[in-house]
Structure 1
Amino acid sequence: MKALKSFLLTFACLLLTPPVLAARPAPSPIPGPRSAPAVVSVPAADRYALRCQERAPERYRSHQGTALWGTKPSWDSSPGTNEKHSVLVSIDVNAVRKTETGVKAVRLEKGRLVAWPQTSQQVAGTVLQGTSGDGKPVEVAICAAEPASDDPELTWYRIEAWNPVAQEWENPCTADGRVPAPRAVAVSGVWDGTGARRDVPGKLTLACENGAISKCVRWGYKPWTERNGKSLVDLHQACTRMARADYCGNGRSHTRDYTVIDMYDGFGVLSPTTQASEDFDPKKITFEAAWAPDGATCISRTRDGKALSSILQECPQRFRASTVDLGEGDRCAVQREGVSPKAALLRNRSHGSP
């Protein structure tokens, strides 16, 4: 149990530094303006033949964690990030672009994809139509399926997406020092840039390992499960807000890289941690906030050390100053207008201001 809780004590990994770009030689001076080189489009037959091959190292890498999906915000190599954007936000389970095994569609069974109409067929090698954050089409190849060793309901997928800028297949998941080759998990629902989730018939999300959607599944908040007859869909969604410290429910994160957090809920999935470990001391953390699917219901303090007044300014008329005692030593300084703090599905504690 101690090992399990050590795994569940989470690092909300948030961008502090821009991506590191490989240095390039300075170009020789050339008089007059220079046009950008034209990108030659690869024919579809050749494109599909290139999927799921061994790849050279990524052109750039960055620490990530503010991102909801865990994917790259764009296909170009420019510095900076956009935690509200993604090169891949959903896939169409009925739009098979290429297959070698006769798969006509895929279906989601708990945390794994199965082929349709013949469930015995392999989904690996299938190319599906996906959509980016700006609504553009993107093709997604499922390269390999890896059943989770600790959860028979969950399967991890090695995926690639067609990069129209570089004209090559590329892992759309953003890597960091802890997970250099991220995989993805299939989750029902589609998320937008504000972090809101909705059910869209025929679509689902391939959430990368370093994103909040995927992390919340790993922490035990699996949206396909139930506790005492209640679905965990809303609890999983509340977790995505909590993981990113999205107090206002607008998709904006308020945390720092590798911040240790402890979460607990009223469903009996997780309880407060009482045992100390190498990177966690329960005596040094304090209550932070209570969470609902659309953001915090009440806040004691911010995770990134900013004044609570900055949150009140970010989402005016959403919170008001009010001391609320939730019990078990959890007290809030501001609470949500028109929402009872005790209606929260999830609470968390963290270290004080950095």
Structure 2
Amino acid sequence: MKKSLVVCLLLQLPSLAQAGVPASARPAGQVSEAERYARRCQGSSGSRIARPQGTMLWGTKRDWNTEKVADERSSVLVSADLAPLRRAEGGVKALRLEGGHLVASPFSEAGAAPRDVVGTVLQGTNSGGKPVEVALCDAEPSAEDPGTVFYRIEAWNAVAQEWENPCVAVGRESNPRALAVSGVWDASGAHHDAPGKLTFACENGAITKCIQWGYKPWDRRDGKPLAELHQACTRMARADYCGNGRSHTHQGTTIDVYDRFGMVERGEWDPAKASFEAAWAPDGATCLARTRDGRELATLLQECPNRFQPDAAVVPGEGEGERCTVRRMNVRPEAALLRNLTFAAPKGAASAAKGP
């Protein structure tokens, strides 16, 4: 069924405690492994979640110290390993990812339930490559799609010596959940297939938002996987024009999202309220009419020189009002998978590019 979609963008130093070390030999304040696992999923640290940090990819905290100014491309948790498990309950020996949910073994052959995975602790990694453990505390199937399961997770903050929800709270949700998505995203915002690894994508980040908008990377349409469409969506959601992982949007900006396949169609367009912004491929914008945050195009192009060129021509097949100011060099128009309108008026007039 075709539909239209208007969305509102809402946008370290961890180390493993040493196992088996006598209490007298451990640094002051460091808890034992047994005590650490006993304290997981107790919900004792929800109040530590800080204020929103802008438009996010993973939806996670950039650093455990939420007052620290950290790069938007850093995260306390960027990936987790399916094996070996650090801890498990009820005889669970292994996990595997099936579409939008985790399945526990040996229960996978007979009536596996989402909650079979609860209590499991996986080995994760932060953006600095340091290890961080992550615990599965609850599993909640989506009301719209039972095959997609939201997980309440906690990661071990070795600095504070406690379990914390790594997801950033936005709006009224003080304890955000996460989806388990195959593969990993690097600091540039690029997705990589990585056997045995997954991403816990918080519901306030672009990875999960794009799934909720209908672009599930594990699904197929007309026999073709939606992974590239989902990846293009993560670039669009964060206004990552250059494909370098940097966002150019403000929290609360309203956009109209649509694609060339008819999965999501453009809503009724009122030029007085919205304007065409850009077309998107998996590695960033393919053409650009204006910036979402109002900065001048010439300023943006200095961020990624030799990527765009001035071109105000209307390309056949584009919709009403979809006239770009700059286009990607050596990229054909059909490379664009998604387009969007932006409703918020720019803070400053987006000028025609004069080159970097």
TM-score tier by shorter-chain length is 0.7 to 0.9
* Kept in 1: contact 2:49–2:169 (CA 8 A): no
SS of equivalent residue, structure 1 residue 162 = strand
In structure 2, the partner of 1:190 is 184
- Residues 146 and 220 from structure 1, CA distance in 2 versus in 1: closer, same or farther, beyond 3 angstroms? same
5 Å-filtered alignment, 1:1-354, equals 8-14=5-11, 40-119=29-108, 120=112, 122-274=116-268, 283-326=272-315, 327-329=318-320, 330-351=322-343, 352-354=345-347
Corresponding residue number in structure 2 for 1:30: none
Number of residue pairs matched by the alignment? 323
Q: TM-score, normalised by structure 2?
A: 0.86
Runs of 4+ in 1 over 3 A off after TM superposition: none
Contact 2:150 2:178 in 1 (8 A): yes
CA distance in structure 2 between the partners assigned to 1:39 and 1:297 by the alignment: 54
Provide closer, same or farther for how the CA distance between residues 343 and 272 of structure 1 changes in structure 2, counting only shifts above 3 A: same
> 1:59: how far off?
2.6
- Taking a change above 3 Å as real, the CA distance of residues 39 and 221 of structure 1, as seen in their structure-2 partners, is farther
Structure 1, unpaired ranges of 5+: 15-37, 276-280
CA contact (8 A) 1:274 1:282 kept: no
Would you say the 8 A contact 2:118–2:136 is kept in 1? yes
CA contact (8 A) 2:45 2:164 kept: no
CA contact (8 A) 1:64 1:70 kept: no
Q: Tell me how large the CA RMSD over aligned residues is.
A: 1.9
Whether the 8 Å CA contact 2:49–2:168 is kept in 1: the answer is no
SS, match of residue 325 in structure 1: coil
Q: Is the 8 A contact 1:61 1:176 kept in 2?
A: no
In structure 2, what is the Cα distance between the partners aligned to 1:324 and 1:299?
A: 12
Q: Secondary structure at the match of 1:235?
A: helix
In 2, distance between residues paired with 1:210 and 1:96?
27
Classify the secondary structure of the residue corresponding to 1:234. Answer: helix
Given that 1:321 and 1:334 are in contact with CA atoms closer than 8 Å, whether structure 2 keeps it comes out as yes
The CA distance in 2 between the partners of 1:284 and 1:256, in whole Å, is 17
Tell me the amino acid that sits aligned with residue 10 of structure 1: V
CA distance in 1: counterparts of 2:161 and 2:218, whole angstroms: 36
With normalisation by structure 1, the TM-score equals 0.87
The offset of 1:268, in angstroms, is 2.2
Give the 3 Å change call, closer, same or farther, for CA 273–39 of structure 1 in structure 2. farther
> What is the CA–CA distance in structure 2 between the aligned matches of 1:64 and 1:341, rounded to whole Å?
34
- CA shift digits 1:4-61 (9 cap, x unpaired): 85xx4222224xxxxxxxxxxxxxxxxxxxxxxx752211111000011132542352
Give the partner amino acid of 2:334: K
Which is worse superposed, 90-99 or 100-109? 100-109
How big is the shift at 1:257? 1.3
Equivalent residue letter for 1:59: R
Deviations 1:134-174 (A, max 9, x none): 10111110000000001122110000000001000000001
CA 1:65–1:221 in 2, change beyond 3 Å: closer, same or farther?
Answer: farther
Contact 1:247 1:296 in 2 (8 A): yes
Show CA shifts across 1:237-272 (max 9, x none): 000000000000000100011000111112222101
Percent identical across equivalent pairs? 58
Rounded Cα–Cα distance in structure 2 between residues aligned with 1:138 and 1:48: 13
**Counterpart contact for 1:65–1:211, Cα < 8 Å:** no
Structure 1 SS opposite 2:325: strand
Query: In structure 1, how many angstroms separate the alpha carbons of the residues matched to 2:66 and 2:186?
Result: 23
Q: Any idea what SS the aligned residue of 2:107 has?
A: coil
Aligned partners of 1:142, 1:222: CA distance in 2, in Å?
Answer: 22
Which secondary structure state, in structure 1, belongs to the residue aligned with residue 35 of structure 2? helix
In structure 2, distance between residues paired with 1:265 and 1:252: 22
- Per-residue deviation, 1:128: 0.6
Partner Cα separation in structure 2 for residue 260 and residue 217 of structure 1:
18
